Chains A and B, each alone.
Chain A
Amino acid sequence: MYLADFHLHSNFSDGKLSIPALVDYFGKRGFGAIAITDHFCEQTSLIGRAASYLGVTLTTATFPLYRELLKSEKERAWEQYGMCLIPGVEITKNSISNHRSAHFLILGNLDHIDPNLDISELSDRVRPEGALVIAAHPVSTQKLEKQTFHLWDRRNELASKVDAWEVASGPYLFDEVRYSGLPMVASSDFHSEKNMTSWKTALKAEKKQEAILHAIKTQRLDFQFYREEKAREPSYCPVPWNMGPQLGHYGMGNVVSF
């Protein structure tokens, strides 16, 4: 079994580390798979355009470079660490209202990404090509940050369009998702090293992109809490109430599962 993190940001959007640095960071910690999912804001909204001007999102101009770099780093991640790097994006639709804001990840195939499309249209476009659609932090993240409830509000309608829903984002478990019966995945929403202590997904699938995406789809996975040793814990970050028994060392951090 190996650990995977499917929601990481690089300096192509608002992350601190570069893509090569992310590969080294997770590779050195023994992770089996990661997905780099930089923000790609829709350009039809004022907030999305502002993000482009501020350089905190992918744009149609930077996206080709991003995709190429992911391709070359995917090879290096495998050769150097035996880690599978899955290309991804986080389609980011922000509005002033949290209930009209939605973030969702597309993993696997980035050939036909258009951030201005609605989740249903994009899902219909990318899933037949082998990509996965994951609703990102669909309920309250318990942090002072922009919340995105739109997908959760429409969860019954979107159930057939979304392959999995994030059950954890960083150190928090989302009970609403956990007990909803919907397919789940746990990720860190990693922006910098301080986000490393978080819930991760544990997999037994072969370390190949198709096998990993299939394991998410079929829910052959587990969730484990990864604690980065010597990490500076943010003061607002409590230890999750339902942490299970400690399983022992995994890479450089400690891992527990529920």
Chain B
Amino acid sequence: MGWGTWLAFKQFERRPQKTDTSSLPPVSILKPLKGNDAGLFENLESFFNLDYPDYEIVFSVTEQTEPAIAVVQELLSKYPQIDAKLICEPQKTGPNPKINNLISAYELAKYDVILISDSNIRVKPAYLVNLVPDLRESVGIITAVVAGVSPQGLGGWLEASYLNTFFTRWMVFTKKLGFPSVIGKSMIFKKSTLKRLGGLKILGHYIAEDYMAGHGIQKLDLTVELMHSPIEQFIGNYSYKSFWSRHLRWGRIRKSIAPIAFLIEPFFFSTVSGALGAFALSSVFKCSPVLIWFLHMAMWGICDVVIYNLMDQVSWKSIGAWMIREGLALVLWVSIFSGNTVSWRGRDYHLLRGGLLSEGGGP
């Protein structure tokens, strides 16, 4: 726990260095859109204000009725000097709806360096200047730790608590152990690299296309790196139900991809590891297990406050949300364990072993 906190600290300690922007390669930014996220206009607009010499933005939607279309059109007319376009040409590559949405944009992308970024990500002008120089010869893909900002509603605060503590620690910890995770919210790579694995189309068969991209790229002897600063996910108003269903989906994906890691996950929950530690230590030192458990939770809480503070401002609401989330973690894990079906963008999918998908609920 302490080590994970220290690793997170080290990860974000590096300050961006001055880069000669003239030597940086052009970038194609791909933005798959679905629905109308809170703060969508501002999120997308942040990509029109990047301080980077040469880039294009390709927005993609799957239906002409998408509410995001109006937002994009407004931005296109506001920033005519930016090379940006919107396309609606979904292709069926497999059951993964995100890849089906993205594939035409990917084929249309002009440049070798591709950044895929979700619609709820908001970035600072220096985002690409800080990111692209790290895409060196030996690096296959760069992903980022996501900071949850501007939460509203119980679900929003719980989401922020998850992203800004457990998730951050998990990302830096797994990277250090040599099993880095790739997060589809922000991943930058070279088209020529992914081509060696069959291109983006091949990822359409998996629910966790980001994980498989990272897995495949490591098979090329290239590394997966983490960006040296977190990117911001604008959470906004978010219901408890949305929080629960999203985490049920993520958890079942984890279980499908890495069942053994999923089985030992509870040992990394503050409540479970605290209970086990309290039971063990109380029998050795003959003291109250409840007291040890509370001490453990207090120390865990302090570490999480330190990490949270790296990602966003800590408040009483965030501390309250942290307590609820820690209490819910085991209940959520049991719910994840009890099924293999996920709902994603209005459709039900049955998860097969290894992160493969079949459409329909299934057993």
Contact = CB atoms under 8 A, between A and B. Distances in A.
A71 to B, nearest CB: 8
A20 B198 contact: no
A116 interface: no
A65 B193 CA distance: 13
Interface string B166-196: 0000000000000000000000000000011
A12 interface: yes
B353 A12 contact: no
B221 interface: yes
A65 B356 contact: no
A148 B156 CA distance: 56
A34 interface: no
A147 interface: no
A67 B197 CA distance: 8
Interface string A42-72: 0000000000110000011110110111011
Per CB-CB distance, the 9 closest pairs between chain A and chain B, nearest first, are A61-B354, A68-B198, A72-B196, A65-B216, A18-B221, A59-B354, A61-B356, A68-B197, A65-B197
Contacts of A20: 220-221
A60 B206 CA distance: 11
B207 to A, nearest CB: 10
A65 B354 contact: no
A19 interface: yes
B354 A11 contact: no
B355 A68 contact: no
Nearest to B216: A65
11 contacts: A11-B219, A12-B219, A18-B220, A60-B353, A61-B212, A61-B354, A64-B198, A65-B198, A65-B202, A65-B215, A69-B219
A21 interface: yes
B90 interface: no
Contacts of A53: 259-260
A62 B259 contact: no
Contacts of B296: none
A67 B196 CA distance: 10
Given A59-B353, A59-B354, A69 B221 contact: no
B205 interface: yes
Interface string B32-51: 00000000000000000000
Contacts of A11: 219
Q: How large is the interface on A (under 10, 10 to 19, 20 to 34, 35 or more residues)?
A: 20 to 34
Contacts of B220: 18, 20, 69
| Listed residue (A21, A65, A67, A72) with the most chain B CB atoms within 10 angstroms of its CB | A65
Interface of A: 10-12, 18-21, 52-53, 59-62, 64-65, 67-69, 71-73
B356 A60 contact: yes
Contacts of B356: 60-61
Nearest to A76: B196
B205 A69 contact: no
Q: Which of B198, B212, B215 has the most CB of A within 10 A?
A: B198
Given A68-B197, A69-B216, A61 B353 contact: yes
Interface in B245-269: 259-260
A224 B312 CA distance: 65
A59 to B, nearest CB: 5
B211 to A, nearest CB: 10
Given A18-B221, A69-B219, A64 B202 contact: yes
Contacts of A67: 198
Select the residue from A10, A53, A68, A73 with max chain B CB neighbours within 10 A.
Answer: A68
A166 B102 CA distance: 47
Nearest to B259: A53
A39 to B, nearest CB: 15
Nearest to A11: B219
A36 B354 CA distance: 22
A61 B202 contact: no
A38 to B, nearest CB: 11
B221 A62 contact: no
Interface string B217-239: 00111000000000000000000
Contacts of B221: 18, 20-21
A73 B216 CA distance: 14
Contacts of A62: 215, 354
